[in-house]
Amino acid sequence: MSVTALEVLHNTFGFTAFRGQQEPVIQHLLDGGDALVLMPTGGGKSLCYQVPALTRPGTAIVVSPLIALMEDQVRSLKQVGVRVGCLNSAMLPQDQRQTKHDLMRGGLDLLYVAPERLLLPQMMEMLEQITISLFAIDEAHCVSQWGHDFRPEYLQLAILGQRFPGVSRVALTATADSRTQREIIDRLALNDAKSFIGSFDRPNIFYRISQKRQAKQQLHAFILNDHPRESGIVYCLSRKKVEELADWLNNHGIRALPYHAGLPAAQRSQNQQMFHHEEGLIMVATVAFGMGVDKPDVRFVAHMDLPRSIEAYYQETGRAGRDGLPATAWLAYGLQDVIILGQMLSQSNAEASIRNVERQKLQAMLAFCEISGCRRQALLAYFDEAMDEPCGHCDLCAEPVATWDATVAAQKALSNVYRTGERFGVTHLVDVLMGKENTRVREKGHEKVSTFGIGRELSQKQWRSVYRQLVARGFLSVTEEHGGLFLTEQSRSLLRGDEVLLLRRDRYDVQETKKTKDTRSRIARSVDIRSEDEPLWNALREVRRVLAKDQRIAPYMIFHDSTLREMVLHRPASLGDMELISGVGQRKLLSYGDDFLTAIRLFEEVAVSARDDENVTVLS
């Protein structure tokens, strides 16, 4: 008897159809081929190997670099009734023995294993004695020595092809660039592998980038307005800032935990655990909090500092909305960020050539912040993916920015930099332009330069904006040591008047403080629950919370928000109805179907009697 891939998708996972490239990938693996799968975070990579694993005879071996990630996958798969185990160094010896025993007697459909375990001679010998359905190498970009996630053991995984000829191998990653793709193919000896490259668009993420003014207050307003009591990640550059901000949020009524590499390991893992299992908790973190995050219901990722490259921005923001429901990528940045990052670069021990590449990447990120067209188009273009129309779902599509002819202003600003010796920071430069005769200006004798006081037509804010944008567009550079500005090659043509320069008009009263009439809680709004359905939505979440607590697992492992949302919309009244809800497979139907049906029934009864009461009042 053999089950088909579609049956597995329906019965085990409770989904109706494959997404994107899933079907061709699965077919290719079932036909015995090797594959390289590139899909963005949340694109559905896991099913690409889980479905073949459950369709073919034998055990699928999944190489996974992080213990936390591995354990989550195992718990989630157990919830849908899959026979699955894992082997890693954090397990007790007896548990490891049990898993090996299960493996050898053919009792596992999938085995998750850390690369260093897999490569042990004893493990290899065991695998030679059993039937292997396929090898899946997750987070395959870990073979890349250039990336942040390099894992030396990944380099040795090439031997799988030699030791197990004829067993399909699939490498999966969300890291897009072509160099990494080539490295994966070379280093894993996947020469005959077929590449499956999905679109890197994350349509459910709304991109919003604002100028930093009072960053903490801006963040606070954003959370309260757009994502109150929802899970989110806030990235900061330094450990100190992480701790301060977490405290500040807690003092301002928003529950937050800190996470950075300097915290004791026990506290880090406890905070990570809490973030995972509780709802409505915010993690304030350095980028050290990264790859292990596969919580599907992270509703926003906020950056309090400029990410160092567009790749980093894409990867970090990609941790929002893995479940496909609406999510926000929010960033507040200012010129100060550029100066700090520049200083960090200058202090790094990296070779000059690497530092140069990093500087260019930072410049690209900065330019991305200052564009006036669609964010998504620009982001995808950076990854060589064309998008014909503006997306309609980013800050610049939703509220286009006005531009103004800043040619003359830019010329004034640039010659001011030149006249004062190309080594002063923005505050001083603006003082000179505006003709402020303060102590520092007099000390430097700058009340005598020809640009003194030639810029009274603009406000201080406007001049700062001009300087910021000139840096972002590459007309000015920042000295790494003191944050002083100096001219670049590019500034010449602007100074000569050969070029017209349009700059963005900054918005100072942004939507962050805007009030809406909508009375729904924002969580209901963000997953699009009608206000009359909100009580039911809350009731179902409560059922889920209690079930999860009993088993000490994360609520999303019971059902994702998207599944609860469907229940709210369709109000299943029987197990038969329930089975049709996306995300409800056979096992979960048996385990939890009744609990949720009961909650829905109770809710409907209450609603009916409330309506009757109303009718009575009207009639009498």
Question: Which positions touch ligand ADP (CB under 6 A)?
Answer: 15, 18-19, 22, 39, 41-47, 296, 322-324, 560, 582
Smallest gap from residue 619 Cβ to ligand ADP (A): 47
Task: Extract the runs of DSSP E, i.e. beta strands, from 286-340.
Answer: 300-303, 327-333
Q: How far is the CB of 406 from Zn ion (least distance, A)?
A: 23
Interacting positions 315-374 with Zn ion (CB under 5 A)? 374
Partner that binds at residue 15, options Zn ion, ligand ADP, none, CB closer than 5 to 8 Å by kind:
ligand ADP
Nearest to 571 by CA among 615, 520, 530, 525: 530
Binding partner selected for residue 240 from ligand ADP, Zn ion, none, CB under the kind-specific 5 to 8 Å limit: none
Minimum CB distance to ligand ADP, residue 283 (Å): 18
The torsion angles phi and psi of 136, rounded to 5 degrees, stand at -115, 125
Nearer to Zn ion (CB atom), residue 174 or residue 391: 391
Which is closer to Zn ion, CB of 207 or CB of 463? 207
* Site size for Zn ion (CB under 5 A): 6
Query: Which of the choices Zn ion, ligand ADP, none does residue 322 contact, using the CB cut-off of 5 to 8 A by kind?
Result: ligand ADP
Q: Which does 376 bind (CB under 5 to 8 A by kind): Zn ion, ligand ADP, none?
A: Zn ion
Question: Between 336 and 582, whose beta carbon lies closer to ligand ADP?
Answer: 582
The interface mask with Zn ion, positions 364-403, x = CB under 5 A, is: ----------x-x-------------xx--x--x------
Cross-strand partners of 258: 284
**How many other CB atoms sit within 10 Å of the CB of residue 173?**
23
Q: Rounded to 5 degrees, what angle do the CA atoms 136, 142, 148 make?
A: 155
Residue 374 interface partner, choices Zn ion, ligand ADP, none, CB cut-off 5-8 Å depending on type:
Zn ion
Pick between residue 21 and residue 210 the one whose CB is nearest to ligand ADP.
21
Q: Which one of Zn ion, ligand ADP, none is in contact with 143 (Cβ closer than 5 to 8 A by kind)? A: none
Min CB(393)–Zn ion separation in Å: 6
Joined together, the tokens standing for residue 464 give 């700062």
Dist CA 276 CA 288 (whole Å): 16
Asked if residues 291 and 149 have their Cβ atoms less than 8 Å apart, the reply is yes
Q: State the binding partner of 39 from ligand ADP, Zn ion, none, CB within 5 to 8 A by kind.
A: ligand ADP
For the chain, the distance separating the N- and C-terminal CA atoms, rounded to the nearest angstrom, is 66
Nearer to ligand ADP, 43 or 342 (CB): 43
Q: Of ligand ADP, Zn ion, none, which one sits near residue 46, judging by CB under 5 to 8 A according to partner kind?
A: ligand ADP
Smaller CB distance to Zn ion: residue 84 or 391? 391
Q: Which is nearer to ligand ADP, 199 or 479 (CB)?
A: 199
CB of 53 to ligand ADP, least distance (A): 13
Contacts of 344 (CB under 8 A, 6+ apart): 237
Nearer to ligand ADP, 135 or 475 (CB): 135
Those residues with Cβ within 8 angstroms of residue 106's Cβ, 6 or more apart along the chain or in another chain? 58, 59, 130, 131
Reduce the DSSP state of residue 406 to 3 states and report it.
coil
Beta bridge partners of 310: none
Query: Smallest Cα–Cα separation from 338: which of 511, 211, 191, 446?
Result: 211
Q: By C-beta, is 529 or 584 nearer to ligand ADP? A: 584
Phi, psi values for residue 168, rounded to 5°: -60, 145
Minimal distance, residue 225 CB to Zn ion, in Å? 20
* Whole-number Å distance between alpha carbons of 85 and 388: 45
**Helix, coil or strand: residue 536:** helix
Residue 128 CA: distances (Å) to CA of 12, 156, 160? 29, 17, 11
What does 391 interact with, of ligand ADP, Zn ion, none (CB < 5 to 8 A by kind)? Zn ion
**Cα maximum dimension of the chain:** 91
Which residues are at the interface with Zn ion (CB under 5 A)? 374, 376, 390-391, 394, 397
